[in-house]
Amino acid sequence: MAAQLRALVSVKWLADAVKSNRVGPNLRVLDASWYLPKLKRQPKKEFRERHIPGALYFDIDKCSDNTSPFDHMMPSESEFGEFVGNLGIGTRTHVVVYDASDFGSFSAPRVWWMFRAFGHGSVSVLDGGLKAWVREGYPLTGEFTKPEPVEFRAKLDRSRVKSYQDVLENLESKRFQLVDARPVGRFRGIEPEPRDNTEPGHIPGSVSMPFPGFLSQSGEEKDPDQLREMFRKAGVDLSRPLCATCGSGVTACHVALAAFLCGQEEVAIYDGAWSEWYTRATPEHVISEGRGKHL
């Protein structure tokens, strides 16, 4: 597997691993499905009913800073270490993450990025997700076994996580480029945000790159040449520092994954994302074509 593609594994690769009983302490498969509440999908219930054999459920909301008023903010090192250790994931475990989104990938890149931010590089996204797995006719199950807990030592690379203050200061310093992965209507301020008490719009100077654009129609990641061209057209220089944002720090991680596949491995995430920015920013720092329409 080429170095720049180690972030992805194919459904055939994973199916072979499942068939040959390689899933276990050295290879853990995680269903990281999470959806916006308006979709009314119940990812934990769906997981209990059907998932890839050997998979375990990774709850993004549970593995987070529950003291924060914002959704699924990064947990502490000890919280992350305990959470993933209880999933039978050790320092040498290869982790493969997928979700059951209709896009092919939605929340899985968030968990991929979390592992990397906490110092675990042996992590891959299942290319095409459960959608591709089902399309190729591979088996599903409703059975799962809770693994034996192991020790996982997490060490957060703090440069991977940007705060509100970091992004605020960047308005002047322009030390990093900021890419927003939300749909373009929400970015422009002409389509409503999915969360109550939050209007659409964007952070000054940010660039719109909606996350579905990184995926093919069938849900797999586009190839690196296509991704590089997307960044180029958006005016993003992959040789310069890059930070990604979205609504709550989930789909922003698609930007990090796409950039990684192009050789830029150091993308940061603004974890509070638009949810925090809209709450805290002054009116002149909320750029919107339709401000006030969606109160």
| Domain residue extents for the chain | 3-156, 159-285
Pairing of strands 123-126, 94-98: parallel
The Cα 120–Cα 133 span in angstroms is 25
268-292: average pLDDT? 92
- Give yes or no on whether 3-156 and 159-285 have one common fold: yes
The Cα 77–Cα 83 span in angstroms is 10
- The string of DSSP codes covering the chain is --GGGTTEE-HHHHHHHHHTT--BTTEEEEE-----GGG---HHHHHHH-B-TT-EE--TTTSS-TTSSSTT----HHHHHHHHHTTT--TT-EEEEE---TTS-SSHHHHHHHHHHTT---EEEETTHHHHHHHTT---BS---PPPP--------GGGEE-HHHHHHHHHH--SEEEE-S-HHHHHTSS--SSTT----B-TT-EE--GGGGB-TTSPBPPHHHHHHHHHHHT--TTS-EEEE-SSSSTHHHHHHHHHHTT----EEESSHHHHHHHHS-GGG-B-SSTTTT-
109-137: average pLDDT? 98
Q: For the chain, what is the largest distance between any 2 Cα atoms, rounded to a whole number of angstroms?
A: 58
| Confidence label for 291 from pLDDT (cuts 50, 70 and 90) | low
Selecting among 63, 243, 246, 253, the annotated active-site residue is 246
**Homologous superfamily, domain 159-285:** Rhodanese-like domain (3.40.250.10)
Q: Is 246 a catalytic residue?
A: yes
Q: What is the pLDDT of residue 56?
A: 98
Q: What is the pLDDT of residue 4?
A: 43
Q: What is the pLDDT of residue 294?
A: 38
Residue-wise pLDDT tens digits, 189-198: 999 999 888 9
Evaluate if residue 1 carries a pLDDT over 60: no
Fold classified for 3-156: Oxidized Rhodanese; domain 1 (3.40.250)
Residue-wise pLDDT tens digits, 208-261: 999 999 999 999 999 999 999 999 999 999 999 999 999 999 999 999 999 999
CB 17 within 8 A of CB 83: no
